[in-house]
Chains A and B, each alone.
Chain A
């Protein structure tokens, strides 16, 4: 994957999302449309407590706000078990890390945030910044989901 457009993304502008509307089915949207934007956030509401964001592309100064609004939106919709899937993210910079840190710090007591990440460069960034001590990072989406649900169940 590179920036030259060799991969195509289904991109949605989170600013246009209406809070509370179900995003189910959005991830089934066709992905064949070539887009110049190498970034996408897809929101899924798995149940009334659990929400997930699948992020693709590069998380940098330009795309970090989209992630921020998507996360804020999800949390404000009442989801306290959130998984951020960064498996398809190829790069993450300090601004996007700042977004994640900000959200993590503002989680209500009992709420859980887990990150699924497999890309070595992104994992390295988490390691280098020491944020692997801050976030719960899992190699798969399912592990992350199990973590947020399990801990929520334990808390409940």
Chain B
């Protein structure tokens, strides 16, 4: 999950970076050629335009129309481009004038009337407002100028002028409304010579421009500068002042203000010829700015200095945005949206990954618990007996179904259960646990392995459905050194010791759930010396080496070759090392009995016989396999038959430890409760 989320996050980051880079690139591109130009425009441009660059009356006229107040600047830079600047030609001039004009307009405000100018300072933060209003305001200014030009601009230039100005600027929607008009208005201005526009002196133009600029840079300190400028009223001084600003003024506002003007042209080459295209953009941009300005101005006026920083930031950002052409803005917007979407999706993915990781941990814990239920941890030692167990699932679909348990019984005995439920995979798991715990319960209740099987089999058979279970149950008495085991369709344990006991497979009890009563066979073996008892599942015998079955012979060899500290894991490792195909699970439990006693050698086979069993002649095979001759076995079977006829079932005991095997017939020691229905039907039969 995490690996999936990461690329998205990276993509998102790179997209964001790309977006920022794009914005920066545009900013720099647009700014670099024009900053200087703008500076020049401001510093000398305006005056120069007014004076030397526009020798003809035409420029004058234009200047007049365009900006009664600041708008004259609009006209002035517009015409001289070719003459003035190389850059201008490249970067269409039409815009710079517009911008310049707008700024100048704002400046003009400052220069003309305090009240009007108020908008100018306000515009410091929202240049757009100024831009937007330029047209409308310009007219006002024009009027104002006419009136105010004569008045001492110094008064307006005072520090308070800024604060007041902004305070008034808020005066409301007026700017907004004007902005709307602006595009048209501008053009009118530009083209309509009719407008009654006072002919602005270069001086006047400069002065307000300087004032506004100064104001925009920083309210209080700058204000003094313009104050000085108009006071001096010297054309020459203004350019100097502006020029100085261009270079030295803090990057923040002054720089951006200036830059912005020229940037336009760079960005919108198409609009180069006429100011028209710019106008709508400016208007649009101006609208929100003006609105903001109107709403917030009063407060700002109060805390003007403290708000300067955020205000500047906003200005800067706004300027940057302004510089970017609409198409690119859309592209950048789309990129940002994409980056955001990717960022969100990657965030969601990482959250999901974390959630899944948490769930996985919980699942693993659960699986660990389940695993423990199936294959419990076995202590390394139970009393004097070294114990170990191991499980190795098949690599293929045969996995599942094996189970084991090794535990201590109350009287110091060690009990072992190893089994295999037919069927594989997870469907075998519930039956596996069922069989294991059921058998364990009977063993813990104190039953011998055979009786435990006998009792548990009918219970389990009803639960197992179509499957069956092979199992071996064993108990070891450390004091008597007696091992008792009973198998149900399962391989007998392999005993490696001083006196190896060969198991006899004849007359084995069937598996649990195979349709026949089981728990009919039990073997008792004494382990006088050091011995190793290995319980295993058929997966061990069925493993193959180059197509041949591993088999019991090789297992015996493998067990005999184990070191003194070997565990069941070592056994299975060895089997795995010697085979190349292991189609079934392998499970093994190992009991290591330490030597050192002279207990008598005991070996007893118990077989419970009933009519069905006797009919199959399986007991005879067992007798023959255990060394009885034909005649003896027939005798034994004959007496068993008569006992079965009387008792229903009989337990045949073969004591093989001594010189001569002894045979004993005992009545069965466990009578199964028959299900009620069967019992009642039999009662009916008998009565009938």
Contact = CB atoms under 8 A, between A and B. Distances in A.
Nearest to A105: B515
Contact of B514 (A2, A62, A101): A101
B515 A128 contact: no
Given A61-B397, A98-B423, A101-B422, A130 B511 contact: yes
15 contacts: A94-B422, A95-B422, A98-B422, A98-B468, A127-B506, A127-B508, A128-B491, A128-B505, A129-B470, A129-B508, A129-B510, A130-B487, A131-B511, A132-B618, A133-B616
A97 B488 contact: no
Contacts of A130: 487-489, 508-511, 514, 516, 518, 521
B398 interface: yes
Given A93-B542, A95-B422, 4 more contacts: A62-B583, A101-B468, A101-B513, A133-B612
A19 interface: no
A69 interface: no
Given A130-B509, A133-B618, A94 B467 contact: no
Contacts of A128: 491, 505, 508
Contacts of B583: 60-62, 93
B514 A94 contact: no
A124 B466 contact: no
Contacts, number: 89
Interface residues of A, number: 26
Between B466, B488, B521, the greatest number of chain A beta carbons within 10 A of the residue's beta carbon is seen for B466
Residue from A93, A101, A130 having most chain B Cβ neighbours under 10 A? A130
A60 B510 CA distance: 20
Contacts of A134: 510, 514-516
Nearest to A127: B505
A131 B514 contact: yes
Contact of A3 (B424, B470, B511, B547): B547
A102 B467 contact: yes
A4 interface: yes
A91 interface: yes
B613 interface: yes
A8 interface: no
Nearest to A91: B549
A124 B552 CA distance: 12
Contact of A133 (B397, B422, B516): B516
B104 interface: no
A106 interface: yes
B396 interface: yes
Interface string B563-599: 0000000000000000000011000000000000000
Interface residues of B, number: 39
Interface in A1-27: 2-4
The 8 closest A-B pairs by CB, nearest first: A98-B422, A130-B510, A130-B508, A129-B489, A3-B547, A128-B505, A102-B466, A130-B509
Given A98-B468, A133-B616, A4 B547 contact: yes
A42 to B, nearest CB: 24
A4 B619 CA distance: 39
A7 to B, nearest CB: 13
A104 interface: yes
B606 interface: no
A132 B617 CA distance: 10
B327 to A, nearest CB: 65
A97 B398 contact: no
A129 to B, nearest CB: 4
Interface string A84-96: 0000000101110
Interface in B490-520: 490-491, 505-506, 508-511, 513-516, 518
Nearest to B396: A61
A85 B297 CA distance: 104
A2 B547 contact: yes
Contacts of B508: 127-130, 132
Contacts of A94: 420, 422, 470, 538, 542, 584
Interface in B374-410: 396-398
B489 A131 contact: yes
Contacts of B542: 60, 93-94
A97 B422 contact: yes
Given A4-B547, A129-B510, A130-B518, A61 B398 contact: yes
B511 A101 contact: yes
Nearest to B401: A94
Interface string B462-487: 00001110100000000000000001
A101 B515 contact: yes
Nearest to B551: A121
Contact of B466 (A2, A105, A133): A105
Contacts of B513: 101
A100 to B, nearest CB: 10
A97 B489 CA distance: 11
Interface string B605-649: 000000011001010010000000000000000000000000000
Contacts of B396: 61
Interface in A49-99: 60-62, 91, 93-95, 97-98
A130 B507 CA distance: 7
Nearest to B491: A128
B505 A124 contact: yes
A40 B466 CA distance: 25
Contacts of A93: 538, 542, 583-584
Contacts of A101: 422, 468, 511, 513-515
B510 A98 contact: no
A94 B521 CA distance: 20
Contacts of A3: 547
B510 A133 contact: yes
A95 B506 CA distance: 21
A95 B398 CA distance: 9
A132 to B, nearest CB: 7
Contacts of B487: 130
Interface string A19-44: 00000000000000000000000000
A142 to B, nearest CB: 20
A128 B494 CA distance: 14
Contacts of A60: 542, 583
